[in-house]
């Protein structure tokens, strides 16, 4: 019998065709974050057992991210089609055993490898079309990272516009927001091949581990956000009721695995 290699599918004799290499995965990018409050009941319906409501339970963050990423060898950086991608995600907060955690509840990404990587991490990634104005240091074809800099952001999927935002820098701040500031608590889930009446093959609550975090200045500003309905989406149930704030920041971090909090949820891991 052949010994198949590769971190993810397709697994082959050499493993060279695997969609993504093993972690650690390094990320550098620009993040536009808009925080707002919605109906807390809409957040609670997205928190599975054993997660409990957080303080300020209706707080939500929507994040546009323009990423460059690579594995430990960095080969992707010399083949940038394998390194550059964008995504949009909604984050809410909950509590696990009294500790605040963040949780991504909706997310769209524009490359297959980023989607597969996210599914491994428990991000519920779907394909979408994402655009975010990039800052410039020279010329007039973009905003500067200074007061008055104006950015646009859009999200579409299945030929429908889902969200759009405009952000205008008014100054600098000390923090990049609080909703997306905790360790991520995600669910890794895979239905059984026997069908939905059988126990799932995989059902885990996991905490993601991020190390070597670096971040640039926090640019705060005014934001306008619009969400649009779609027959294939539910994120608009998190409709904004009150704007909290908006920031733009350049960041870097490394995903270094994580910890299984509970298996076969809702039962706890032994020990």
Report CA-CA distances (Å) from 101 to 46, 54, 94, 178, 186.
Answer: 13, 8, 5, 11, 10
Among all chains, which residue has been given the structure tokens 């200045």? 217
The 10s digit of each residue's pLDDT in 21-39 is 999 999 999 999 999 999 9
225's CB contacts (< 8 A; 6+ apart) are 34, 36, 62, 163, 164, 165, 240, 243
Rounded Cα distance, 8 and 21, in Å: 7
- Whether the model clears a pTM of 0.75, i.e. scores above it, the answer is yes
Domains and CATH numbers, the chain: 25-184+211-256 (2.40.400.10)
The 10s digit of each residue's pLDDT in 200-223 is 999 999 999 999 999 999 999 999
């Amino acid at each position: 019998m052949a010994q198949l290699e590769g971190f993810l599918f397709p697994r082959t004799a050499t493993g060279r065709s695997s969609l993504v290499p093993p972690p650690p995965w390094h990320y550098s990018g620009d993040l536009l974050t808009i925080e707002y409050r919605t109906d807390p009941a809409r957040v609670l319906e997205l928190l599975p057992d054993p997660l409990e409501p957080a303080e300020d339970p209706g707080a939500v963050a929507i994040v546009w991210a323009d990423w460059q990423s690579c594995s430990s060898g960095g080969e992707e950086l010399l083949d940038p089609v394998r390194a550059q991608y964008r995504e949009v995600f909604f984050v809410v907060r909950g509590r696990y055993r009294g500790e605040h955690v963040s949780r991504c509840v909706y997310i769209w990404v524009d490359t297959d490898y980023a989607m597969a990587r996210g599914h491994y991490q428990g991000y519920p990634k779907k394909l979408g079309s994402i655009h975010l104005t990039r800052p410039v240091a020279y010329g007039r074809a973009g905003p500067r990272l200074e007061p008055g800099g104006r950015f646009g952001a859009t999200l579409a999927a299945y030929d429908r516009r889902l969200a759009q935002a405009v952000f205008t820098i008014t100054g600098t701040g000390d923090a990049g927001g609080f909703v997306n500031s905790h360790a991520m608590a995600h669910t890794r889930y895979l239905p059984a091949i026997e069908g939905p009446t059988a126990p799932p093959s995989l059902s885990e609550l996991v905490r993601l581990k991020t190390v070597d975090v670096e971040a640039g200045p926090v640019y705060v500003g005014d934001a306008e956000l619009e969400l649009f309905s779609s027959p294939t989406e539910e994120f608009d149930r998190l409709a904004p009721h009150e704007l909290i704030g908006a920031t733009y920041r350049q960041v870097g971090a490394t995903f270094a695995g994580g910890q299984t909090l509970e298996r076969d949820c809702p039962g706890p891991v032994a020990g």
